[in-house]
Every structure is written in C-alpha cells, then in structure tokens.
Amino acid sequence: MALFPRSAVPALRFWGLRGARAWTRWPRIPGGGWSISCFAGASSDTGGGDHSQKKFLLQDIAELIKTRACQKVVVMVGAGISTPSGIPDFRSPGVGYYSILQQYKLPYPEAIFELSFFFHDPKPFFTFAKKLYPGNYRPNATHYFLRLLHEKGLLLRLYTQNIDGLERASGIPDSKLVEAHGSLASATCTVCRRPYPGEDFWADVMADRVPRCPVCSGVTKPDIVFFGEPLPARFLLHLADFPMADLLLILGTSLEVEPFASLSDAVRSSVPRLLINRDLVGSLARNPRGRDVAQLGDVVHGVKRLVELLGWTDDIQDLIQRETGKGQHYTVQPVSQEDCSRLQPGVALPQVDLTGALTASSRETSLPLAVPCLRASAPRVGPFISTGKSPQPLAIIGYFLTSLD
C-alpha cells in the first residue's frame, strides 16, 4: 500500500465500492470556535445510521467516555496536534513547511519527499533534515490527553500521520501506536536494503555528509514514507481495530492523504465520530453520519473543552506535572503565526524501529520532524499491489470499506 494524495483518488473508482462518492474531494469549510452536531439518520458510506432526530453533542461523547460505554477508542491524529508544540504544519500559508522549503529551490515543495527527486539529488533533503535535529519540541496537552485515554484503559489504538515522535514522548506505549507514515528513528540503504542505525544517520547529517551504506556505499534514507512507498506493516495489521472500535476521535488532520484519510469511514455506521480540528474535513463534511460531532477551532482548546466535560482536568494536570516536573498547565496556548515564522524545525524524541511484521521493537533514539502529510503535484497511483502488468487493488482495504455496517 502506497502513500498518495486525494487528487489521485479518481483512479480508484473502478473498484465499484459501495459509497464510492467517499473518494471525491470536498470543499474546505473555515473553522471557528464552534461545534457542529449532525442529526441522527444522516447517510453514511458504510450504513444508513439510525433515524431518530436527536442531535448528538460533545456532551454526549463525553458521557459515553465517562460511563465507559465506549472502551475501545481509536484515535486518528495529524499535524494539527503538534503545531501547539511549535512544529509548523505543512499547509499553513507562510508558516508551514511548504513555505520553509521554498528556500531549497525545488521544482515544487513536495519534491523533497519524492523518491525520484531524492535519488536525483539527496542533498536538499538532508540539508532540510539538519534543521530538524532533535531537541526543540515537547508534547502538549493533546498528547497527554491521549496518554490519559491509555492510562484509563480506553485507548484501543492511536494512528498518527506524524513522524515527530511526540506521541511516544508523551508516554504512549509502542503497542498502542501505529505510525502510518513511518519513523525517523532508523534508516535503510536504498541499494542493498541494509538497516542503518539512526544515530549514525544523524551523525552524518549533522556533519553535512550524505549518509551512505558502509557495505555498498548506497545512499541511505530514513524510514519515513515518501510518496509512492509502501506504508509500514503495522498500518495493515491494525486495520482490524476499526471494526472493533466503539468511538473514533479525529484530531488535527486535514484528511488529505490516502489511504490514511479513508480510515475515518472504516468504523461501523453506529459508532460516534468526534472531530476536533480547525476545519470540517473528510466525510464528516461531505457525508456526515448521525452520531458525528465536530468541535471546530484550535485543537488544544477543543481538547480542553472535552477534558472539562469528562471531569479530567485534575488528572491531566497531574499527569503533565508528573511527566514534565514543571507544573505546566494543560491549557497550553498555541504559538502565533509570527512565532511559527521564526521557528527552526526540530524534534528530539524517543522513537521505535518497526522491524517486525507483528510487533514493534522498542528502541530509544532521538529524532525529528512532523507530519509527512503532503499533497503531490504529480499524478499518483493509489493503494495498489503491482502484480504483473496491471495493478490490483489491495483487497483488505476494499473489504473494510464495503463490509462494515
């Protein structure tokens, strides 16, 4: 399964999947500090929902969590949960990584994460990577809220598009994490595929050397997902989480990159979905279900509101104080655009080397960066397995998108 943007989605229509309209683009709706609750009975891509006319509210989501009516919570997160820690996202005009990348004279910003450009000239990527050297950023209140979900026995799995390691740094264990876009904790030779230790990779990068394999001298690449590369095995192995989920939380993501984006449709139609995000996105915008709730605006403020409704304010403050030792208050204010424009990207966090198909071996290594949540300029081919001359759709994705009700 490869990473691809929603602009490539029309190529998937031949699947003939029920609810194919889920693959089309949708308009972005500006977000404010307000909440949208959808009427029950709205259609969905995986079922029709119930047909009562009761609004589902943020308070209802909180009540389900408080009463433990939902004990298998799946969470999807993106760049928006890391920006309050000071890490620019990719798309914000003037302050995102797209703007920062303009200085490298690329044909287009996304090229720095394109394999073809990397093989042609890897230096811009490693120059950029040097600016992301570990050590500058720490988890914020949203990360600790997710940690609290785990500590209370409610977190089934956390799926993250981010590669900044802040989820792990907040104390969420490997077994609860799926790093959908890979990790910078290690690197691999692009020629002989020999693993290359993350510490050696960063020693080369900081010395302005292109990291090369000691065996074949091939260029080594960090184990993050570039466009056109397969996603980590854990992404597929944990797709079974979505049929089991009894609550889906979607935090700080534009739901623009496939196949991650379509996971939001993979829970049963009866399962509540809560979006805490700057904008209304994904199927919650174009085809909402009856138990959808959207808390729009700043992500940290939205999480604060949910924490208050849950009665977890003291719990999260105690957790943050225990972890940081500084008594940090959980209502961390997001950095301003002016502050973001002055930031030098970088993250120093524990990461994991995903070397096994079923388990992740725990290894503490410092590394950086955030969200490879990119939109490609060039055409992309979607989640296909190439078998001979014609690509075939990955059957497991089709199964989960068509069989849930």
Q: Is 181 a catalytic residue?
A: yes
Alpha carbon 395 to chain centroid, angstroms? 23
Here the tokens at position 265 are: 């449709």
What single-letter amino acid sits at 366? S
Q: Of 223, 152, 160, nearest to 189 (Cα)? A: 223
Using an 8 Å Cβ cutoff, are 186 and 365 in contact? yes
- Which residues are CB-contacts of 139 (< 8 A; sequence separation ≥ 6)? 85, 166, 167, 169, 170, 323
Alpha carbon 194 to chain centroid, angstroms? 27
Neighbour tally for 150: CB within 10 Å: 21
Alpha carbon of 246 to those of 55, 272, 277: distances in Å?
A: 18, 7, 20
Using an 8 Å Cβ cutoff, are 49 and 41 in contact? yes
What single-letter amino acid sits at 187? A
Using an 8 Å Cβ cutoff, are 176 and 150 in contact? yes
From 143, 150, 181, 238, active-site residue: 181
Q: Point out the residues that are catalytic.
A: 181
